Structure 1
Amino acid sequence: MPHEPRRPAAMPEVPAWRAVLSAFCASLIGIGLARFAYTPLLPALVAQHWFAASSAAYLGAANLAGYLAGALSGRPLSRRVSVVVVLRTMMLIAAVSFFACAFPLDFAWFFVWRFASGLAGGALMVLAAPAVLAHVSAARRGVAGGVIFMGIGAGVAASGTLVPLLLAHGLRETWFGLGAVSCVLVVVAWHGWPREAASNAEPVHHRAAPKVGTLRALYVEYGLNAAGWVPHMIFLVDYIARGRGEGVQVAAAYWVLFGLGATFGPLLAGHLADRAGFRAALRFAFVLEAVAVAFAAAGLGSIWLMVSSVVVGAFVTGTVPLMLGRIGELLPHHPAQQKSAWGTATVAFALCQAAAAYALSFVFQHSGGNYRLLFAIGVIAMVVALVIDLLAALSTLRHSIPEAN
């Protein structure tokens, strides 16, 4: 018998938990540390005369601009080279940016690296979770998505704990410390990404995709939801410290509560989605968020503000896996379209969040520092998001009745 040529051995499939861990590390570096660790660093940059206060604020905006660029370019990059290569490269860029920021050569140098860290975060947000969740069973995707996006909450928590500890040793040492932590996370994630063979030859399904309007409504809802968070994310601490006259120390405690909520929110939201479905869980989230923001808008007491901080913090990160899962519900037989839709949703999120930040700053300046007005606008954004979701569902139901008949 002729000798059959030996086939190369197939690479072993990465266990689902290992892939989820890699995506957790990606969200922790790209969003959790690269974005949120800058907030407690900003006063130190000004106090130690690295940059003027106005320049330091623009450097913070550079990360948001980079995030938008990364959200736009992540999928095109993944079509040119391997998704895994893009993921590894972006994690490395985020890690290197911390070391680069330890040397304040000039404003342009710092701006480039803050932009690069945002670029990496945007690309990682678009690519990491979809690459992993495609290899997780449908019954466990809610929890898996929750674990992945817990990385963002862990970054918020680290911004209130790790950064102050590092700052005690110096500002440059703090940047080095964040870079070292990021390098460890890069190593942990490096070999944990799943194989891409399935993504290169996705099966063709002939079931129709949902109405374009349904997805467009979802993008608008996600953007409005992001806008509704902005009063808490930007003004909560200042409202408590100056608006209520309770001081910085008390306000910092509320930020810790916000961070705790952000850490565990994705996991709790994932559990809820696995039991009730992503559509119902997302609507429930909109209702809870609107009520929680309304507590601040109504100027209620400390207990209610604590509840508001925890709930909004939980859904700042918890809504992310809910939105990703909802896209999966709408496009269950269209894996490529799921990834494209998630990229579009991330862009909508980035645009609306940045626009809301500037708009609410304008309102705050021209309303004589009316904090409660800002929170009221946040409530309106949440309620409109819920109304749009209900109207979109009603429209879909109305169009499906003739087809059934």
Structure 2
Amino acid sequence: MEAVLDAQGLPDQAAEEHAAEHVERARVLPGEREVDPEDERHEAEPGEHPVLQGRRQPRPDEPADERAREDGADVDERAGHARRSVAERRRVRGFGSVATPCDILLVALGSTGGLAAAEDELLGGLRRAGADVWVVRSSPPRDVRTLALTDLQWARAARRAAQAGLLGHPPRHAVVFSTVTSALLWPDVPAGVRRAIRYDAPAAANRPGRHGVWQRGAERRRLQEADLLLPQSPGTLEESPVTTVPAIVLPIPVEPSAPDLDGPRDLAAVTYATNWRKKGLDRVLAAWAYARRDGETLAVAGASPAQVLDAAREGGMTGVPAGVEVHPTLAPAEYRALLRRARAYVTAPRREDYGLAQLEALADGCALVSTDAPGPYVAVELARRVDARWIVADDRTPHVLAAAVRAALDGRPADLVARTHAVLAPYRRAATDRVIAEQVLPALTAR
């Protein structure tokens, strides 16, 4: 056990201090806005990091042990989740606990529901391929003010989780990090153990300026040091600053939410807007105001009424246009039920790293109407193959998007579900399971 990480003498301390030094320099002056309202990366969405708006200050009457702090890892004990602090686990190990080896250790970030679901899919795929996989999950860190600090906090949490896993469940073959952020401060691993990184978009592309002041350099080093890269799309690999490391494209699988998708579709359209600026809700609402006909409804999921109003005003309107219903919080099953009722899914993202919500819409038989946003936007290429009229240039003019919305609503093909499922075939679970069994697992376990 001495060769494994000492959880108190952190092996990557120098890297952490280097990152923290640059983050400190990146802080803005008092009174300056920490997150640019035009920066689409400042809110959380499925598969991305949450952007925390301000450092949480403890209330004067708040007990010290309830104040915000950095917790240890959440360790999946297979029979259930046992949540213990790092200190508690150290005490347990100090009294002769025995490590249980595994084939692969998965270091999961779980910073959003969408990312957690993607990590669970990866875990399931590896286990279905026959690997003995142990997963450790990062505990949510305290709130901080900037994206650079947010990533630093999550990277620290992921390192603690990785150390816990390496101590308690040393892998025989590989450690897989579920995101670049979870790998930025990775610990040392035993000799002969491979390191792989799964990711949707590199910081080199989605952390510009001060938002990626330390992450971009750390990312370049980690990607170069990895034994295997698992980008979620070819576009992800194209944006990567490192192209010399072996890579296997491994998409997030998506499945229809019901066997029968031929039920009534009483909603004209749905849009997902948890990160409303990035998703371009202001542009969607402006287009909806032009495209809507009497009796048609646009369901906005994941945004509060106040956020929808803010988006409408940013889109040049004095209020929310007619025919908009708001669903601030929906369970995943409720959201998919909403998709099954909709004829179209409308979005106008300013950047898209993958497009999981759009892929789910295609899987549930929606016509996908979208702007052709920058980024490794997988869903837009599939939608273009279904009907190119529904994909428009990344244009702020609402009339262009409105015309595409009308084309999708008025000309919805009778065989749309068959078409969408045909283009989604490489993204179904059976297809990604084959990639894992035939390519990923052999690359992780070969001697």
> Smaller-chain TM-score range?
under 0.3
Bigger fraction of residues in strand: 2
Whichever structure has more helix as a proportion of its residues is 1
- TM-score, normalising length: structure 2: 0.25
TM-score by length of 1: 0.27
Relative contact order (C-alpha < 8 Å, sep 6+): which is higher?
A: 1
